[in-house]
Structure 1
Amino acid sequence: MIGEIEAASFIGYTVRALQNWRVRGGGPRFVKVSARSIRYRRRDLIAWAEALLVSSTSDMSKAA
Structure 2
Amino acid sequence: MPQSPTPIPQGDADALEESVDQALAACGGDARATIRALILANEYLEAEVAELMKSVSHAYARGRFHPYNG
Same fold per superposition (TM over 0.5) = no
Higher helix share: 2
Greater Rg by CA = 2
Higher strand share: 1
